[in-house]
Chain A
Amino acid sequence: MVETPVEDKRITLKEAAKLIPDGAHLFWGGFGFQRPPMAFAHELVRQKKRNLTIYTCGSEMDIDILAGAYVTSRFELAFFAIEGIGLAPNIQRRIREGAVQIEDYTNLAMALRFLGGALGVPFMPLKSMLGTDLLTKTKFKPKKAEVITCPFTGEKVVLVPSVRPDFSIVHVSRVDREGNAQIDGIKGEDVEGARAGKKVIVLAEEIVDTEFIRSQPDQTAIPNIYVDYVVECPWGAYPMMVYNYYDYDMEHIRMYYQQCKTEEGWQKYCEEYIMSVEDHMDFLKKIGMERLLKLRAKKPFPY
């Protein structure tokens, strides 16, 4: 018997961010405080990317950082805030400046737009948005949604355009070097979003042997066929959370929120935690092992 060689898709975080050209369209994974690709956001800021369009359902501090650093100029999304604390401070400021534009959908609409992209169909039907300004008011899309009468039943249905972004960026629990990914806890819209991108970059808390994945194939959320690049990225969602791995660092998130209420405060945060560190490992050193270990999930709790 000839053993199948294991394809190795591993690259570094720096190499992964280098793949993203200015002006690219990105599916942005994670939901709320859960598994945001925070380390990837930092690296895009360090590499001074510009003019990106981001598609996501609901994101928080990660996309607030991208807006603050002028990396992203357009968002198509359903929700942004620093949940439990307040409005996203940098995005507010960038909207007022005219540096950021937001096209609003609902969470279901965005999730279906990713599913549509993944399915290779141009639009998806849904029963939300009817009768509201979400249907009619647009910021930059010439056509945002359309109400049709169902040709079979005669009922009213909303159609939303599918999304096929240049890249999908997802942060998962674990992955093997071929790109088979497991996601613990809620998946948000990452299952569909990871399949919608033309190129897919999977960042993970840990890289596991492919035999581990293949001993429990029912646990694979994203099979290797969809995945182009794999990045090992422990604590990659810090200061937010990863199910079964670590809790959020509310003290850091609150500090971020307070500081970023002013442009000077944001510039200081960006310099201190993003620009002046060499890479993600350097950032983790700055946060400190002691602080990180306190956040580790305490079994049987996933946090």
Chain B
Amino acid sequence: MEKKNYAKLGEFTTLELMAVCGARAIKNGEVVFVGTGLPMIAAMLAKRTHAPKAKIVYEAGFIDSNAIDIALSIADSRLGYRASAAIGLIETLGLLLQGGHVDVGFVGAAQIDEYGNINTTYIGDFEHPTVRLPGSGGGNDIVSSAKRIVIIMTHEKRKMVKKLDYLTSPGHLDGPGAREKAGLLGGGPSLVVTNLCQMDFDPETKRIRLATIHPGVSLQDIRENTGFDLIIPEHVPTTEPPTYEELAILRAIDPHGIYIPRSAQTR
């Protein structure tokens, strides 16, 4: 195996590490459903490194996008650059996604619970909410029907909760077999990337399990910022840091720091 040239602690930001983790979750040749923000950057990085044959789909209708400029909206004309097709929602969310052609979907979350169920709709009580969030958009469709799901989010106690204020998108619901029983097509969440760690799902219980700890983060940090009982295996490896090559490409993708500000806190 070739020796990788890893960046050292202090030479990359947490957001850069998160984007690299997201990119590595994409395999070459896969059909990837992403939104704007960090997932878009992650998918663009994957395409320019280990997964040049990955096909990026945006729900607004851009298929196999080869954007070279950072988009602010999922329907941004920038995403149309050298795409193979520009169609619409029935095509992307219906025929491609529900039709079973999407390997991996990336989503964000305002809250998740220990089964990877997602809230992007309300904070607080349904009748009298504290904050009304944007809602599902295509999020529920993606999490329902993609073969696997990567969740990218900030790791905070109020976001990693025992009970969601509102269940927008289905994780593993209440445990093993629940998705199948509900009639869902896709495989559900398989990876959660945060600013502190990566988490996967225990195959027996379908509960969230610590997978890797980001460099410079302690187990204590993770425990303090998680509101549910996280499964912690005996040996948890450190997250593979970004390589210098990945960092250089990443910084070329977002040169103005729209989604990955250069001044962001360095771990």
Contacts and interface: CB of A to CB of B under 8 A. Distances in A.
Q: Do A and B come from one complex?
A: yes
Interface of A: 31-34, 57-58, 60, 77-81, 83-85, 87-88, 91-92, 95, 102, 104-109, 111-112, 115, 126-134, 137, 147, 155-157, 185-192, 241, 243-244, 247-248, 250, 297, 301-303
A87 B94 CA distance: 27
Contacts of A109: 141
Contacts of B53: none
Secondary structure at the B interface, as helix, strand, loop or mixed, is loop
B75 interface: yes
Given A34-B76, A106-B138, A131 B90 contact: no
Given A127-B183, A127-B185, A186-B62, A106 B137 contact: yes
A32 B74 CA distance: 7
B61 interface: yes
B132 A92 contact: yes
A81 B141 CA distance: 18
Contacts, number: 194
Given A130-B184, A134-B168, A186-B75, A301 B81 contact: yes
A186 B61 contact: yes
A127 B141 CA distance: 8
Contacts of B219: none
A127 B145 contact: yes
Interface residues of B, number: 55
A33 B73 contact: yes
Contacts of B1: none
Contacts of B126: 133, 137
B98 A241 contact: no
A102 to B, nearest CB: 7
B232 interface: no
B106 to A, nearest CB: 15
B77 A112 contact: no
A85 B134 CA distance: 12
23 contacts: A31-B60, A32-B60, A34-B76, A57-B137, A78-B138, A83-B74, A87-B132, A87-B134, A106-B140, A107-B136, A108-B89, A108-B97, A111-B90, A127-B184, A132-B140, A134-B140, A156-B183, A185-B61, A187-B86, A188-B89, A191-B88, A243-B86, A302-B81
